[in-house]
Amino acid sequence: MTITSLFARRAVGTMRPLLLAAALPVAMAACRGKTATDTAAPPVVLGAADIATAGTADLGPSVVVSGVLDPSDVVRVRAQVAGNIRDLKVDRGTRVSRGQVMARIEAQGVTSQAEGAKANVASAEAGLAVALQRLEGGKKLFAAGAMSQIDFKSAQAGYDAAAAQLAAARAVSASASEAAGRTNIKAPIDGWVSDRLVEEGESVKSDDPVLTVVDPRTLELKGQVGAVDAAHVRTGQVVAFTLDAMPGQEFKGTVARVDPMASASTRQVGVFARLTNPSGRIVAGQFAHGRIRTGATVKAVVVPMTALRTGDKETYVLVVDGDVVRRRPVVTGVRDDETGMIAVTSGLKVGERVVMTAGVEMADGAKVSTTKEK
């Protein structure tokens, strides 16, 4: 080995630690850079259900009532005499007019009494006519001196008795005729037959239910509200109705009346709201919700109440701004518990998008990714 080769090897051995020392900072820097990239938080993925768009709505103080929409006029027709059902002309769904004969009760005893009473009236009328002739003739004879005063008074008394008999016969006949008239089952109101409880030929007793007639052109909801809310409800206030069977549609009615006292058991106050239904489009008997406007309404920017978040010192929302969220303090106003919306009087504009997922907390400027639901 030459001296030159020996010095060359020593030089390489001497430089190796120096090279390692120089490479170590570079490797550490590379490692640090890789770790920072790998631990960066991924964007929060938000679906369409997680985001709401601020809109406008008319909000104001209101009281909510719920219940079944029943026809305001419901009449249960009962048999007024005993007998058998005859000539049943209606069924469920048949439209009827007030006074229309819907069926007849065959009651021979009642009919016979009415016919006998009429005969008695005819007999009493004939007796009165004879008594009148006697009285008129007696007047002439008494005036000519051909009849004693006693006979004349007797003729006059006979006439009075005949007149009394006729009056009594007419009274009995009127009562019997009224009873006979009850054998005709007539519609008490204009409306529709909603229930038929008898069949042709069926035997009924007096006061047995026979038919039910309703008028669904005006529907009524009976709701219960707390005493505090009832203090703000007045007859004539506007009621906005929504029906479970007709989602997305709203119908207008009015408060018809309010109970004067609260229920002793529930401490709730009955409120009756009416809805006109002239075309019969709304089927009676379905469940409905009514919102009674108890004060003036205002048009406001609204968001779902689930979009509100509460910090240490402020109420705020998270506004989706491109691919990040921004924390935005807001001032709220009237809330609508039925729709779940709340007015934002300051801090938010119509059309801005807010995060509704209250369970997911995100810092101001956090990255987000939005997806569209299929």
Indicate the domain borders of the chain. Answer: 46-58+298-370, 63-71+216-293, 108-182
Which of 365, 354, 350 minimizes the C-alpha distance to 309?
Answer: 354
Is 46-58+298-370's fold the same as 108-182's?
no
**How is residue 199 written in tokens?**
């069949």
What's the rounded Cα separation, in Å, for the pair 62 and 330?
Answer: 23
- What CATH number labels 108-182? 1.10.287
Helix (H, G, I), strand (E, B) or coil at 6: helix
**CATH level 3 topology of 63-71+216-293:** Elongation Factor Tu (Ef-tu); domain 3 (2.40.30)
At residue 360, the pLDDT reads: 67
pLDDT in tens, the chain (374 residues): 433 343 334 444 444 443 334 444 444 444 454 444 445 668 888 888 889 999 998 777 788 899 999 999 999 999 988 889 999 999 999 999 999 999 999 887 676 777 888 888 899 899 899 989 888 888 888 888 888 888 888 888 999 998 999 899 898 888 777 777 778 999 999 999 999 999 999 999 999 999 999 999 999 999 999 988 899 899 999 999 999 888 888 899 999 999 999 998 889 999 999 999 998 889 999 999 998 988 777 788 999 998 998 877 889 999 999 899 999 999 998 887 767 888 899 999 999 999 987 666 788 888 988 876 55
pLDDT in the model for residue 358:
62
What's the pLDDT at 145?
82
What is the third-level CATH fold of 46-58+298-370? 2.40.420
Q: What DSSP assignment string belongs to 218-273?
A: EEEEEEEEEHHHHTT--TT-EEEEEETTEEEEEEEEEEEEE-SS--TTT-EEEEEE
Q: In 10 A of CB 315, how many CB atoms?
A: 14
Question: pLDDT (tens digit, 9 = 90+) per residue, 12-55?
Answer: 444 444 333 444 444 444 445 444 444 566 888 888 888 999 99
CA distances from 178 to 81, 107, 125, 144, 189 (A): 11, 13, 20, 48, 20
